[in-house]
């Protein structure tokens, strides 16, 4: 369950089914190039969890955005600070730095522009809005800058 300060939109049964199919496609390496399987260690149990994600490349950096809000994967990445991205047979580890609310608006805008078909329903501002429109919603959508771990 989400807390009022960290809300999220849970997936429907249909969306969970789609996620399972996308997960299979990503594992096989045949999903669209921006899709990866995110693996993150649970902040309480230490168990590894995985979920398909859209990876944003912007300004020469890699970003993860949680369009549904403070989902379990976002809370875990925030607490643990490290994630693994898988695609096909390849797995890469990254440090995940949670962006401050002030840093998020341009990343949220770029993310919505790039993946609007998949995520517009989670954003109360339409794709194409100026970056200022994202200031008021930045606290609802966690975002992470990824840096490859050695």
Reported as type and span, the H/E element at residue 83 is: strand 82-87
Coil, strand or helix at 143: strand
Q: Confirm whether 56 is domain-assigned.
A: yes
Q: 21: domain range? A: 13-148
Q: Is residue 109 within 8 Å of 116, Cβ to Cβ?
A: no
pLDDT tens, 95-115?
999 999 999 999 999 999 999
Q: Confirm whether 3 is domain-assigned.
A: no
Q: What is the band of 5 on the pLDDT scale with cuts at 50, 70, 90?
A: low
Beta-sheet strand order (sheet of 56-58): 48-54, 35-41, 82-87, 90-98, 143-148, 61-65, 56-58
Q: Confirm whether 68 is domain-assigned.
A: yes
Does the pLDDT value for residue 36 go beyond 50?
yes
Provide the token pair at 88. 């096909």
Q: Confirm whether 1 is domain-assigned.
A: no
pLDDT tens, 110-145?
999 999 999 999 999 999 999 999 999 999 999 999
pLDDT tens, 39-85?
999 998 889 999 999 999 998 999 999 999 999 999 999 999 999 99
CATH code, domain carrying 119: 2.30.110.10
Q: Confirm whether 103 is domain-assigned.
A: yes
Q: Confirm whether 110 is domain-assigned.
A: yes
Q: How many domains does the chain have?
A: 1
Q: Confirm whether 2 is domain-assigned.
A: no
Q: Confirm whether 8 is domain-assigned.
A: no
Q: What distance in Å separates the CA atoms of residue 67 and residue 75, rounded to the nearest whole number?
A: 13
């Amino acid at each position: 369950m989400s807390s009022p300060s960290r809300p999220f939109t849970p997936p429907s049964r249909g969306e969970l089914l789609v996620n399972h199919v996308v997960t299979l496609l990503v594992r096989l390496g045949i999903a669209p190039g921006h899709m990866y399987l995110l693996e993150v260690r649970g902040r309480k149990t230490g168990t590894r969890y995985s979920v398909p994600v859209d990876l944003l490349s912007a300004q020469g950096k890699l970003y993860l955005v949680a369009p549904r809000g403070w989902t379990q994967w976002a809370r875990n990445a925030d607490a643990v600070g490290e994630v693994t991205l898988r695609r096909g047979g390849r797995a890469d580890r990254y440090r995940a730095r949670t962006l401050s609310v002030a840093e998020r608006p341009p990343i949220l805008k770029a993310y919505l522009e790039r993946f609007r078909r998949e995520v517009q329903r989670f954003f109360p501002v339409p794709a194409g809005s100026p970056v200022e429109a994202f200031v008021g919603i930045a606290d609802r959508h966690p975002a992470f800058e990824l840096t490859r771990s050695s």
